[in-house]
């Protein structure tokens, strides 16, 4: 079912939790609401569910205004962050609860629950109580319970928040598969940008109650509309510079910044991948020392200290690292392939600038 939010604002007393938010989720989409905690994304989710009422604005589900439709009649499946399973009921009764409430026949309930137990790999656990289940099992029960009455929309609040890192990865893949199989319009909330990038068709980024950007993961990563998005999605080096003669400068680093007046203070941002390193000290313009290398699995993070003492972060694969023959303490030369001007008098970010002609770096990867 399609969902549309029009100029939604939510105030709790004096505090504005959500400010003038508009977006549309299409039928069958899997959308992630992303943002730091306190950003208002959970409030948005709860308003769609009907658990909170917008202070102003309208919510439409499949074109019908649902502001005055009670929670019970919205036909939405909601999975709570801590699952909110009924502790005094076993798995079967938990899943059957929504069906019983809707006065399904006994036989139909049993059949539906059995179907869900199988689909969610919970066979044999139907007599267990929530406290006898593992975290992953609890979550599957919570999702099965939400899906049992065949809702048109599935909402998940931080679905992977309460499980440990290893199961998390499996659950992400499982959620994508589940969405693919069921094709239910699904919205989930997360504060983990990696998770949002991996799972969603589209991402909606919130900060301080405002919608910052909505778009496909790649779009958000490559074309952030403002500094917040640019810094929140992915890692970024940020430098405070001052403009002199069309060039933003900090220590020895210089970034071409045409059109800015002398003395303007610019914030320059660039991804770690944009830092190109060479052991040939004469190849690239700036000199630096590799202070430390952090191993993050396949990727390595490098901490480079420029001659002036400024520290930059860079990333590369193990292969590149060994090809270049790097080690902690080695002196290198480097350059910054492309960068952005972050803080300007305009809210929108200017397009990315390139130091000189170079083939653009690839961004598809996760960070």
Partner 1 sequence: MAGIVKRQRIAGCVKSQRGAEESAVAKWLLIGGAIAFCLVFLLLPLANVFVQAGAKGSAGYWRAISHPDAWAAMKLTLWIAAISVPLNLLFGLAAAWAIAKFEFRGKALLITLIDLPFSVSPVVAGLMFVVLFGLQGYFGAWLRDHGLQVIFAVPGMVLATVFVTFPFVARELIPAMQATGSDQEHAALALGASGWQTFWHVTLPSARWGLLYGVILCNARAMGEFGAVRVVSGNIAGKTQTMPLRVESLNEEFHGQAAFAVASLLALLALVTLAFKTFLEWRQRREFVLAQQAAAGELSVVSPPSSAGGRPAATKGTRKHA
Partner 2 sequence: MAANKSSVLPGFRLTMGYTMLYLSLIVLIPIGALFLRVFQAGMATAAFTPDDFDDFPALWERLVQPHDAASAMVWAQFPPDTRAALAAVAEPQRPQALTGALNQLIAGEALFAPASASNVVLSAKADWYLRHAPRSEWCNRTLLEDAFYAHIKKKTNWVDLWLSIKSPRALAAYRLTFGASLLAALVNAVFGTLVAWVLVRYEFYGRRFLDALVDFPFALPTAVAGLTLASLFAANGWLGRFLARPATDGRMEAITQYLPWFGVVIALVFVGLPFVVRTLQPVLENFEREVEEASAMLGAGRLHTFRRVIFPSLLPSILTGFALAFARAIGEFGSVIFVSSNLPYRSEIAPYLIVVRLESYDYAGAMALAVVLLIFSFGLLVGINVIEQWAGRFVKE
The only residue of 12, 27, 58, 71 in contact with partner 2, by rule CB under 8 A: 71
Work out the angle at residue 88's Cα, subtended by the Cα atoms of residues 154 and 85, and round it to the nearest 5 degrees: 20
Q: Residue 367 binds which entry of partner 1, partner 2, none, with Cβ cut-offs from 5 to 8 Å by kind? A: none
How far apart, in whole angstroms, are the C-alpha atoms of residue 303 and residue 351? 27
Contact set for partner 2, span 293-352 (CB under 8 A): none
Contact status: 76 vs partner 2 (CB under 8 A) = yes
Would you give the distance in Å from CA 265 to the centre of its chain?
30
- Matching residue, tokens 């059949």: 111
Phi, psi for 171 (deg, rounded to 5)? -65, -35
Three-state SS at 272: helix
Of 41, 357, 349, 45, nearest to 221 by C-alpha is 349
Q: Residue 80 binds which entry of partner 2, partner 1, none, with Cβ cut-offs from 5 to 8 Å by kind? A: partner 2
Q: Residue 101 binds which entry of partner 2, partner 1, none, with Cβ cut-offs from 5 to 8 Å by kind? A: partner 2
How far apart, in whole angstroms, are the C-alpha atoms of residue 147 and residue 134? 20
- Residue 141 is classified by DSSP as H
Min CB(227)–partner 1 separation in Å: 7
Q: Say which residues have a Cβ less than 8 Å from residue 3's Cβ, sequence separation at least 6.
A: 24, 25, 48, 59, 60, 61, 153, 185, 187
How far apart, in whole angstroms, are the C-alpha atoms of residue 177 and residue 184? 12
Min CB(225)–partner 1 separation in Å: 7
Q: Residue 114 binds which entry of partner 1, partner 2, none, with Cβ cut-offs from 5 to 8 Å by kind? A: none
Min CB(144)–partner 2 separation in Å: 12
Site map 147..186 versus partner 2, x via CB under 8 A: -xx-------------------------------------
Site map 25..64 versus partner 2, x via CB under 8 A: ------------------------x-x-------------
Three-state SS at 92: helix
User: Which residues are at the interface with partner 2 (CB under 8 A)?
Assistant: 49, 51, 71-74, 76-78, 80-82, 84-88, 97-98, 101-102, 129-131, 145-146, 148-149
């Amino acid at each position: 079912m399609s969902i549309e939010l029009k100029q939604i604002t939510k105030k709790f007393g004096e505090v504005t939790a959500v400010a003038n938010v508009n977006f549309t989720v299409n039928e069958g989409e899997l959308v992630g609401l992303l943002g730091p905690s306190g950003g208002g994304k959970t409030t948005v989710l709860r308003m769609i569910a009907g658990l909170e009422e917008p202070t102003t604005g309208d919510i439409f589900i499949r074109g019908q205004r649902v502001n005055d439709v009670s929670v019970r009649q919205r036909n939405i499946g909601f999975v709570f962050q801590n699952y909110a399973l009924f502790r005094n009921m076993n798995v079967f009764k938990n899943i059957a609860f929504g069906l019983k409430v809707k006065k399904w026949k006994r036989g139909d309930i049993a059949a539906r629950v059995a179907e869900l137990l199988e689909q969610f790999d919970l066979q044999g656990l139907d007599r267990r109580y929530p406290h006898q289940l593992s975290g992953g099992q609890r979550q599957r029960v919570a999702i099965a319970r939400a899906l049992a009455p065949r809702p048109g929309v599935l909402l998940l609040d931080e679905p992977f928040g309460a499980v440990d890192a290893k199961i998390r990865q499996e659950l992400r893949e499982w959620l994508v598969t589940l969405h693919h199989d069921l094709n239910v319009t699904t919205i989930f909330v997360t504060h983990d940008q990696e998770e949002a990038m991996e799972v969603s068709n589209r991402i909606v980024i919130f900060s301080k109650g405002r919608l910052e950007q909505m778009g496909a993961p790649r779009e958000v990563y490559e074309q952030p509309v403002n500094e917040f998005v640019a810094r929140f999605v992915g890692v970024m080096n940020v430098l405070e510079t001052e403009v002199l003669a069309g060039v933003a400068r900090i220590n020895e680093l210089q970034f071409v910044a045409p059109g800015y007046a002398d003395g303007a203070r610019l914030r320059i941002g660039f991804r770690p991948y944009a830092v190109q390193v060479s052991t040939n000290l004469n190849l690239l313009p700036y000199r630096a020392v590799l202070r430390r290398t952090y191993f993050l699995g396949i990727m390595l993070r490098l901490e480079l200290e420029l001659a002036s003492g400024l520290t930059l972060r860079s990333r590369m694969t193990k292969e590149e690292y060994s090809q270049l023959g790097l080690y902690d303490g080695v002196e290198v030369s480097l350059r910054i392939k492309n960068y952005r001007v972050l803080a300007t008098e305009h809210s929108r970010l200017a397009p990315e600038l390139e130091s000189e002609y170079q083939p653009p770096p690839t961004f598809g990867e996760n960070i």
